[in-house]
Each structure stands twice: as structure tokens, then as C-alpha cells.
Homo-oligomer: A and B are copies of this chain.
Amino acid sequence: MTDLIARRRALLGPNVPTFYADPVHLVRGEGVWLWDAGGRRYLDCYNNVPHVGHCNPRVTDALCAQARTLNTHSRYLHEGLLDYVERLVATFEAPLSTALLTCSGSEANDVALRMAEAMTGRRGIVATDATYHGNTALVSHLSRSNVPEVGFGLGGFVRHVEAPDSYRIEDPDGRRFAAGVQAAIDDLESSGVGFAALIVCPLFLNEGFPTQAPGWLQPAATVARNAGGLLICDEVQSGFGRCGSHFWAHRRQGVVPDVVTLGKPMGNGHPVAGVVTTPQIMARFRQAFRYFSTFGGNPVSCAAATAVLDELEARGLQRHAERIGRLAHERLSALARRHEAIGDVRHSGMVFGAEFVLDRSTREPAGDYAERVVEAMRASGVLLSRLGRHRNTLKIRPPMVFDESHLDLLVDTLDAVLTRLPIAG
């Protein structure tokens, strides 16, 4: 282990993130389970990339069959790309009927921002102050929590609005958030940058997946449209049925975005991502920019991505996510009645968690405590993390095949950990 960490430092450089004080050395995965080099099994409550389960046989079979048949780029004709895009866009509402495939969500968001520039002739982007949309020079500036020192001055095009926080900020219908967006737009306009787009994850997942009434995002969307800008929904984390109630989380928000970006779970771990938009926006972008990606939309990526859609349908995983999410909420709420440290319980389908506070009356965030819980859960064989504006909320976002028995194990383990760990320790 020490040897692996030393090798990482030498080969990859400093500051390469690992999870946990004692990082896990993984060797095998199956469904919701991961095994380390010592043969120990972990319940994976963290990873959304293996959407239909680690090493899902339908996906790996499709991947392998296609990799052994043909893998090439989209300058030749291939039905795999067209069949996949046809099927993908059929899950969207009109007029979202065209797609561009990339290798990563970062590349997808990099394209989405340029679509906004192409449509509006302006460059100002509004995002929340607790989000993350990727790692290219352009999109990295959307993260305020991790402002890069480098990035070709692109931060000047971004304005951040206060992230929603249903536990602390009164904003039942999203008007307060919309007012923040309007202020950011006004600032972009008065500074001469101009406003091109609002980009949000429709679950506000990194922000702590606040509880929101259906349609909560509508006022902000209206503000963005009235200012002549686009609404970009980054569904890299929230999409493909994870939110349970809908296949795409923006539908729960009652909005039709101009551009939707996809990623992580799309190929169950195979590097494939994309942008879905209207024919008008796609045409404008493709006229302004002769985009080509060598790997984007290759037959192997499309085979993996198609198998993910097949598996989601065949196993009814969206409905399953809704049911498990509701159950998880109930079970975590029951824990909250016995553990003072839990200030709030939230869920959106197969994303759920508990927010830790030092004191329920002040709601003071207990970030350090959350970290201790995450470490103790790892020591107890359950992998999860923390997130949110105050990094004090458990991030539980397992593969979609996570079922009731897994939930039992998760909640029982958490119960034991919270019982063992005094909040003010």
C-alpha cells in the first residue's frame, strides 16, 4: 500500500487525489460490490459511473463483441452511432433531437459553452458557487470551490450565484435563486461581457442535492431566456434515470433546456459522453466550428452506451431508483430520530444522504464530523463520500442496481458508526 502511494507520487506527481486516509486498493468489481487486494469486500455506495453495476455482463459483452468486430471513427458511416443517437434523443422532449458525442463530460460541457457563444454572440456564463462541470481550461472556471490558478483568463467570463440550500435558505419556488441569476446576468451585462448561458445540474448534486418542489428551476430558466441566454442542463450525474421520477432530471424541474450534457454513466465506465440539443443550435455550432472527435461516437462506445439503455429498460432501473430512494429517505429519517448529528435527510431517487450539523438549532455544518463518518464507514466496508456547500452531507450515489438488502447493510453500518462516534468527540 505504502509502496503504491510512493509510486503514485513518483509517477503521477503530487496532489493527485485519493479517497480516504487509508486509500482502498481495488482489484475486482461486480454489481454494487468492490473487492480490495486483501480479498475484503466493500459495498459501493459512491460510484455512479458503473450505472448498471460494476462489470455488468450485458455491457461488457456488447463492448467486447464490438471491440472484436470494428472500432473506428465517425468519418465513415456506421449504424451503431446512428442507432444509438436515435434511441438517445427519443428519451428527450422536442425540440432536443440531435446529439454530438465526445469522450468525457468535460469535453461535452466545453462544447455546450461554445454552443451558447455561437447562438448568442456573447460569452458570459452563470453557474452556482458550489458546482463542478469538468476539467478543460474553459469549463474548469465554472468551479468556484477549486479556482484554478491557470486557465488563460477565462474566469472573467464566469459569474457565480449562491447555490440552493433547502435546509438553510428559504426559497420554496426558486425565485430567490432566479433573483441571484438575474443579478449575475446584470453584472455580466454591465461589465460588457454579456450573458450567454446559465449552466446547472438539475439535481444540484454537487451542491448537496437540495429538496426542491417540481418546477423549482422555472423562474431561473425564465430569467435566463428573457436575457437572451441559453439554459444548459449538465445531466452528467443526474441523468439516465438516476433521479427516479424521470429519465432526465430537468423534467422534474419543469424546464426544457436548450442544451443537455451527458457523461459518466453513459457507457458504464467506458469513456463516452455527449451533448444533446436542438437542430437549430446544433446547426449554428456546426457552422461556426468544424468539430471532429477521433474517439467520439466510435462503434465500441456506442455499443456500450446502447447496452446501458437496454439494461436500464430491461431491469426497470429508473422505477427501482425511485423506490429505493424513497425507502432510503425513510430509513435515514429513522436514524435521524436517534442520532442528533443528522440535521437533514434528503434524496432524489438513487441519490440520497444525510447532512451533519454540530447543533440542530443553529444548523452549524459538521464537515469534520462528516469526514470522520466517511472514514469510519470505509473501515466498516462501505464506500461513500461527502459533498455540498459545507462538505457535511453524505454523498450516497450507488450503482442503480443497489437494492433493499444493500440499503439494509448501509443503514445498519451507518447506525453502528454514528453510535460509536460521538459528534463532539
Contact = CB atoms under 8 A, between A and B. Distances in A.
A341 to B, nearest CB: 25
A114 B79 contact: no
Given A7-B82, A69-B28, A72-B47, A13 B77 contact: no
Interface string A227-260: 0000000000000000000000000000000000
A50 B295 CA distance: 11
A72 B29 contact: yes
A200 to B, nearest CB: 19
A17 interface: yes
Interface string A258-300: 0000011000111110000001001101111111111100101
A49 interface: yes
A135 interface: yes
A110 B69 CA distance: 32
B136 A292 contact: no
B15 A287 contact: yes
A114 B153 CA distance: 11
A151 interface: yes
Contacts of A1: 77
B146 A290 contact: yes
A137 interface: yes
A21 interface: no
A108 to B, nearest CB: 11
A14 interface: yes
Contact of A271 (B103, B105, B123, B290): B103
A91 interface: no
Interface stretch (A60-68, A163-171, A182-190, A368-376): A60-68
B107 A136 contact: yes
Given A136-B110, A150-B289, A70 B18 contact: no
Contacts of A146: 290
A27 B85 contact: no
A285 B117 CA distance: 28
A157 interface: yes
Interface residues of A, number: 104
Contacts of A28: 69-70
Contacts of A57: 68
A11 B99 contact: yes
A140 B289 contact: yes
Contacts of A114: 137, 148, 150-152
Interface of A: 1, 4-5, 7-8, 10-19, 23-29, 34, 47, 49-50, 54-55, 57, 60, 63-64, 67-79, 81-82, 85-86, 89, 97-100, 102-107, 110, 113-114, 117-118, 123, 135-138, 140, 146, 148-154, 157, 263-264, 268-272, 279, 282-283, 285-295, 298, 300-301
Given A50-B72, A67-B270, 18 more contacts: A11-B99, A18-B76, A24-B77, A25-B77, A26-B78, A47-B73, A49-B294, A54-B70, A60-B68, A64-B68, A113-B137, A113-B152, A114-B148, A136-B136, A137-B138, A140-B289, A148-B290, A270-B300
